[in-house]
Amino acid sequence: MEGLEQWKDQLEQLKSQLEPWKNQLEKCLHEAIEYLNQIPPVQLYAAISVLLISTLLLLSIRLFKHAKSNTVMLTGLSGSGKTVLFYQLRDGSVHQGTITSMEPNESTIVLNSDSNKKRKSKPVHIVDVPGHSRLRPKLDEFLPRAAGIVFVVDSLEFLPNCHLASEYLYDILTKASVVKKKIPVLICCNKNDKVTAHTKEFIRKQMEKEIDKLRASRSAISAADISNDFTLGVPEESFTFSQCRNKVTVAESSGLTGEVGQVEQFIWECVKP
């Protein structure tokens, strides 16, 4: 009984201590109501509308930032080894010979290297877009969702295809959806397991030279007619990939031997949480 009486005394003391706060709160609430009553209804509704719109906008921005895309595209000329690379990334399987795709290959995977490194795994949606010129418009279907682009180049048969590969890459780098979103691009020099394969440094320099020629020949058309495209480089300077608004890097790989570590690292950088 004595303990119960002590509890009652403590509660009474607490109540007496909170009483001034209660009175102050009631006073502030009363003043706030009086102030709101003095505001014309039109102004009050406008203020509430602005507050609601601002709140919704901030929430939308936060949700958009958190909803980062996990789609990475593989593209390039036919025969560059895109589909072999796709299967290697998907499950580590090796497909001998040439595989020609007429429809996009899609798969949601977890990168094999994630299991060997202490980093958070995230499912990646890989899309292998056919490289045939008539099927390239399919690229535009996936670009709005792309977090990164792997542009696959045949480093073994590079020189005969340098112009066509550079032209295709030029078209990608000047697309509004790529430039505005600053989608990173990896130039993947595939088939580097072959002795006669060209190095990534050689391929980068040759593609920069070829794109520089394309830039000069297309600049007038792009400025006058193609409103959705962007021009590349800096005027009166030789073109380099470092001048692009989005990040462009170069790496080597071999889909047949499973040397895809640099590609996996690029993909992870594009989709990491």
Does residue 170 sit in the same domain as residue 96? yes
| Total length of the chain | 273
Domain that residue 19 falls in: 1-64
Q: Is the pTM of this model over 0.85?
A: no
Question: Two tokens at 174?
Answer: 């000047």
Does residue 190 sit in the same domain as residue 240? yes
CATH, residue 265: 3.40.50.300
pLDDT of the residue at 71:
93
Question: Two tokens at 112?
Answer: 């094999």
Q: Are strands 105-109 and 124-128 parallel, antiparallel or unpaired?
A: antiparallel
Does residue 112 sit in the same domain as residue 153? yes
Does residue 173 sit in the same domain as residue 216? yes
Does residue 80 sit in the same domain as residue 48? no
pLDDT of the residue at 209:
95
Residues 189, 167, 97: CA angle, nearest 5 degrees? 40
Per-10-residue mean pLDDT of the chain, 273 residues long, equals 63 69 74 71 66 68 61 92 89 64 81 58 87 77 92 95 94 91 96 92 96 81 53 87 94 89 92 80
Q: Which of 49, 64, 79 is the last residue of a domain?
A: 64
Where is 30: in which H helix or E strand? helix 2-38
Does residue 184 sit in the same domain as residue 80? yes
Does residue 50 sit in the same domain as residue 83? no
Q: Contact at 8 Å (CB) between 186 and 150?
A: yes
Does residue 54 sit in the same domain as residue 130? no
Does residue 163 sit in the same domain as residue 102? yes
Does residue 207 sit in the same domain as residue 248? yes
pLDDT of the residue at 240:
93
Q: Which of 64, 97, 112 is the last residue of a domain?
A: 64
pLDDT of the residue at 115:
47
pLDDT of the residue at 189:
96
Question: Two tokens at 133?
Answer: 């010129």
pLDDT of the residue at 66:
46
pLDDT of the residue at 31:
72
pLDDT of the residue at 150:
97
Alpha helices for 41-133 (secondary structure H): 41-66, 82-91
Q: Which of 29, 64, 99 is the last residue of a domain?
A: 64
Does residue 147 sit in the same domain as residue 255? yes
- How many domains is the chain partitioned into structurally? 2
Does residue 194 sit in the same domain as residue 120? yes
